[in-house]
Structures are given as structure tokens and as C-alpha cells.
Structure 1
Amino acid sequence: MTCPYCGSGLDATGTCSRCGQVHGSVSTGWRPDPTARHEGRYFVTGHPTNRVRDGRSTSSDPVGGQMLPDYLELPSAGIRSTWLGTTAAAVIIVLTAAVVWVLLVAGRRPPPPPEAGYLSALRDAGLSDEFNSDVNAVAHGRQVCRQLEDGDPQQGLPADKIAVDAFCPHFAQGFRVLEKVKVTGTFVLVDNVGVDGIMADGTSCQGANGYSDVNPGTPVTVKNGHGDVLVGAALGPGKGDSTTCTFTFTVPVTEGEDRYVLSIGRRGEFSYSFDQLVAKGILVQLGQ
């Protein structure tokens, strides 16, 4: 075994020929410098050494140490080890401070603008094609929130819900996504009394004489109870004969309106509830 302070060999009792009893009761460590040349001097088992310090700075002072009895001169490796330890500690402190600074700076960065998240969510949901451009989509999203702020009902289409989540999330919890369905309609033109109201050629048919306004392409309009147009469509090809001619059409309808008022050309208006449209569709008959 060797002495941990000077590197000399230890005898069977653990005594160093230079430092004395290494593990004895005499203290080892820093004490005030008896020579008053420095703030502190390092002692090994009660023996003064050449190692001194002032504040955090450690150096060697063999001249002052030789002024004291039982002086020991420690190898410079001890000071170098202390310096290396101090340097390593300083590096760790600097790295820790850098990590903390990075985290603080990252925490202070402003969040990304809601427009980016909104447009990304629209694309993920496959709804971006509902708008002509990103600018148009953002304008619609902002308008949805303005209407909610003005007191409009908290309901809308899936794209509206995405807008609420992005631009006015305080409305998100109470917002209801409305159901949108495609309703199939059937318009039947009947001429059982032989007034030549239907013209047929064996493969197709359409209205004639007093019913000449009923033909493929006749407009189909759906309004709400306030008269606002919700959606438009047109009659498809007529199928049948000179007695009965049937036209079909399809209209997309979104729930949330009090009534859905259907008109086919100039042939009157027919009122439905959303549940009626979903359950039974549309069936209109004209003629006798």
C-alpha cells in the first residue's frame, strides 16, 4: 500500500515514513496558514504541507512550508488533481446553466399561430377541398368564431368544429357538429285522364303541354323557414311512359334548420322536418 498524500510506501501499521500515521486521529485537511502568507494551508495527519489556497485558488508554497516544523512537501500531482476537479466542476456548472437557459428560452417562445394548426387539421380530416384556398379557409374559420361571439347557436359542420378548436376553443365544449345527409327525392308526373301531359318515346319521358315545364333539368331548390336558399339541384332523366313519368334527384341536407321547404320548378312548395327527410326521403306527385 502507498500513502495517499505523498505516494511513499506504508508499513504494516499503516504508517508513512514521511507523513506518519495515515489513518490516525490527527486531522487532515485545510487549516489557517500558520505563516500568515496565505488564507489556508493543507495539513496531512497534523503535518503542514506546501499546498496553500487563497479563496478558491490553490497553489504551492514550499518556502512558507519550510518555515514550519514537521513540514511535508506533497507532489504537484495533488494540486493538479485539485485543479482538474475544480475545472470539471466548473464545466458541469456551465453545461447545466446552458441547459437551463435553453429550456427557459424555449418556454418563452410564442406558440405557433393558430392558422397553421387549423389548416393542418383540415387537411388531416380531408376537408381542405371545401375551400378555394388557404386564405378562404382561414377567413371562414374566423367568421365562425365571430358569429359565435355574436350569439349564434353553437353548432356547425365538421370544418366549423375544427375552426372553433383552433380560433375560439372556449366554445369547443358546447359546440355540436351537425349531421349532413344526402336525401333522395322522387317526382312523379301522372296523366291517367289522357290530356297528353306526358311525352314518351319508349326510353325516356317528360312533361308536355300543360306540364312542359317538368323535364330533365328542372330546378330543385331547398330553403329554410326564413326563405334562405340552402341547396339547389335538378331533376334527372324521366323514366316511364305516357301515363306515368318518374324523375329522381338528390340534395345534400344539413340538420339545424327549423324547416326544409322544397320547390320543383314552379310546382309549389313542400315542407319537411330534418327527421322526415332522413326517415322517408322526398316523394312528390303531380297530375291525375
Structure 2
Amino acid sequence: MTLIGVTGAPGNVGTPLVAALLARGARVRVLARRPERARAAFGEQPGLEFGHLEFGDRRTYVAAFRGVERLFVTRPPQLSRVTRDMVPALDVALGAGVTQMALLSLQGAERNPFVPHAQLEKYLMESGVASTLLRPSFFMQNLTTTHLPELRRGEVFVPAGRGRTSFVDVRDVAEAGAAVLTEPGHAGQAYELTSSEALTYAEVAAKFSAATGRTIRYTDPSPLAFYRRLRARGVPTGQLLIMEAIYATARFGLAARVTPELARLLGRPPRTFDQFAQDAAPLLTQETPHA
């Protein structure tokens, strides 16, 4: 049976992706920087194994990819120099016998050479490997992870202006990833994955307010104010610069594109933001210490 390697697990997409692959009867190797933590997160399950992979540490590459035929590639958010830190690992994967890769990229990466996802896309397209590019729009779950402290204080704090964003639920992205890695016909394809609506962040705040019964406001900080607050909270500079670039696309009206591609891959409508807000409501109403 084909062995599928998954990077980025546990994680926003990686965790539900592993579950979706196992549900399809696939053999899965979670490739993690701390495999013991991954094992504790997933537990022992039939068809699931764990390997040590740390991008940038060449000593981990050979054993990590041994026996893997298909690979799901996720860029760790702290890595911005992917040519240096990720491409050598993917070269080893190809040499070890990986014949198909699915890349978790970014909506609009083909038009934005400044994001590291674009460099990874270019590498895959030039490598000759059978590849599928998944270009999701902004993850709904980013708001309840990176931006959770502000949300719990009643604030949507992102520098996106009045632009609209076609959000997507990571659970749907994971199902799409499982589909392209286990079904034929996806090699050489690029899929732009969005929900069925584009929202302003003021509308996002209103939906969170309705789901939680609390007042949550969109404060629309300047890019500098956003950078300073999250940097003070310890978010790495490289990750922050990528976030600033992503929010700039929304601010300039470039993130509102809605496509039917996710619905076609899933065979059903994608989850709505209202559904996500209802699911996230208990998390948002927990207390958080003031920064």
C-alpha cells in the first residue's frame, strides 16, 4: 500500500488531513520536528507511523523519506528562506522515491513572487515530480489561533482595511488534500480553494458577535501598529512580514475571489463562516490574560 508522508502535522491543516487520509484507508507517516509530540497528539492508530523531519537539518532527511511515495508539503510559518531551508529536503525526497507531491500554497501565490509559497511552486513545477498546488484563501482558523488573544478581548485586529476576503475552513482544505493524494487525475493541477462568499473583517466581527453573544469589533489597525503588537507578543519577524503581505492583498481588494473548485473537489458546498463561528464560539468566550 502506498505510504503518504505528511509535513505540518499536528497543525491547522495537517491534523485534519491525517484523519481524512486514514479514513480513506491510506498509510500515513507524520513527518514532524518533534515526533514524540506528534505521537502524543495523534496516539497509536492503524496505518499511522511517525518520522523525524526538521527542515534545515539535513541529518533528518534520508530516514524521514525512506519508503514514502507521496508527500504533502507544508511550509512551517517560521521559515521564510525556503530555497535554503526546504528545497534541499525536497530534493532528498525525490531521490528517495517520492513520485507525487501536494503543496499547501496560498491563493494568488502565482501572482505574488514575494511570498515563499511562490518559490516552492516554482521548484515543484521545475522538478518534474507529479505535483498538485493547493492555493487556499485565508484560513478561518487563523483568526482563532494567531489572533485568539485579541478575539477573546473583543477585537478583530488585522490590517486589512475594508477589503473583502474569501475565507476557507482548514477542515475543507484537509479533505481536498486527502482527495488529491488518494485519487487519480490531480497531477499538474492547481486548485484555488475558497468558501462560497467573500467577507469584510467588519462582517467577520459581526458574525463572531452573533455566535458568541458578545460584542466583537473590527479595529482595522495600521500595518505598523499590527506589526508592533504582534512582535511584542513574540511573533517572529519573518512570519509577521508574510502576514503583512497577505493582509495587504485584502486591503487592496485582491483577496475577494471566490471559486467553485473546492466544492467540486469535495462534492459538497464548503463550510460557511457562520458554521465556523458557531463551532469556534466556546473557544472565544474563554478568558485570556491581558497583554
Q: TM-score, normalised by structure 1?
A: 0.19
Structure 1 or 2, whichever has the larger Rg, is 1
Q: TM-score, normalised by structure 2?
A: 0.19
Structure of greater relative contact order (alpha carbons < 8 Å, 6+ residues apart): 2
